[in-house]
A and B are shown apart, each in its own frame.
Chain A
């Protein structure tokens, strides 16, 4: 564990990409084969199956430190990360009564795996053993993290790809593809994962998504509209449909395998030619007619897909790109060519669940601009602009693809609750609940935690610390004094909130120092927006 811990320490000790890549490179040159595979897995969000609940961790930690459980909870709210909280507490109350050990990373992962069906006492034994035999806060932090969540230590997928490309001397795009998809870090070797043989073995592997930046300038700056393809920007889940060797996979952009979540797509699979990968939007729709996104949220939240929810929230796949055909990688062909091939595939399949995301043709940018105002009627967020001769790139890139979104809706509201954030916002009140006025009362309608500068967050934090009304647990009720303009993309009816509405992607647009709490918007204003743009 020491070797991996020193990598984690080095990664956290720098903010510079090159130093991080250097640290990873050195690690991959020297670490054991099995540990290396686990590190790739852990840093790309593939954690081992959880075998000990966080509740038990808290209880055992409190017991070991002889602290009341509520105090452990308070620490957690301040630190914002349970693994770190426990590592700090164990470190503070540790009495050296166990022989220090330096087992491998894989050793601990396997130890957790082995207690999956063990008794609580046996699981506790594994936990205490680790806490005691490991020696530093970092080692214990990693140990806890193996159970409780993903490592957020500033290593992005992209960074990992760059480091592995250096180690293996392969192209970054090749690496990105090979480490994506479904593979079992407990079974695959480093070479199998990264060399050719391994990539052939896995038919499920998706391509890294090409992502667009928002267009901040006017579209005229992009040159002639003739060179661009415009499509509605759908409000769904970006996904890839993959059929290889008659097996079918649905991936989300978050690299989550979601095949089971969308059984409606199974018929598409039968009709698709073998060796095909489509990029598109998983979208709640009746055939080619999109429905409100709020239905998708309802559906995604369910553990079991009932017939009822599948009827209420049916899904289609709006395809907009073709990445592989006849097992051939199409990504380096120009969009215009990919589009033609895509149109043929969709036609061939000819199933209502597979729709072609239509191209919107306008003679001028101005015409398109006017059409964009109607986005909400189409359940779209604006347009995607793609250069017709663009290749399908890897990750978020500027230049060839842009999202040109509609301006968000906005509401002035007042902050009424605050909660401390996590990660780099640890011990800072950065998660807020906002309310609008309804007569004499304030009605909460949205939570947001982005949009302010670090300095503004510090100011709000200081305000919360001085004006908190209730003091225990994570949430503080604060004096309704600070007014913010909140921006959001959509609005729908909801019975989850007191206000009866739910807004989509709420974020703070600006702090309205110029407004007083009695000048904020009302519940009626929200209802009016709901009537105008409501999607449910």
Chain B
């Protein structure tokens, strides 16, 4: 049991607990904030495991951007302070979520199977991990990576198209309102 083990276990416990809290709390915004803690401590776990870049990118992208967007969207919907019955999830949704979560956990846990045969990674050897990750992402896995970026681009264009479609729908009253608004803008 080294210091690293202790820290890792601590960070892992924080991650798991905050994840649990984020799905059980009745406060919508608290859920997002617990998600934030969970993602942040996950970045901590990456750091403990010596994957500095992954951890920092996790922090930059998930904590700094994605959760901010989630919070932003939540606040746009007039999230109430305190628990609220109307936005509580029904039981079947919870059950479906539990099943999905369990399935994902099982899937990810299967990655740990090689550990049973005694595979180890030396974390103490000083290694510049950044170039290795870069080589992995832009070498071995470049096609999935590019595919993902295309997917994101499609989603972006789709969102843009949807927002434009709403603006010009064939509702005479709304259309008139839009035209008037545009006239005012011009």
Q: Do the two chains bind?
A: no
